[in-house]
């Protein structure tokens, strides 16, 4: 399992947090560790989760990932 730290632009409130969490939860086999204003920490198997899926989920929620570590 690999832990990903996503820095997210545009999040300003609790509703933003819930929107991002909702979209990330749609990705199978992704373990959401923490989502707060401006960031998210998730854990996934690198063989099944690619960064593009994470980027797409955040974009679906209406925000932009500025970096993934």
* 14 Cβ neighbours under 8 A, 6+ residues apart: none
pLDDT in tens, 1-48: 899 999 999 999 999 999 999 999 999 989 999 999 999 999 998 888
Is the CATH code 1.10.3720.10 the one for domain 2-68?
no
Q: Model-level pTM?
A: 0.93
Helix axes 14-24, 51-60, angle to 10 degrees: 140
């Amino acid at each position: 399992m690999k832990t990903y730290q996503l820095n997210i632009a545009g999040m300003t409130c609790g509703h933003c947090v819930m929107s991002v969490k909702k979209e990330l939860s749609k990705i199978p086999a992704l373990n959401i560790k923490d989502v707060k204003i401006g960031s998210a920490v998730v854990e996934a198997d690198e063989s099944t989760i690619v960064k593009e899926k994470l980027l797409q989920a955040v974009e679906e929620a209406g925000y932009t990932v500025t970096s993934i570590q």
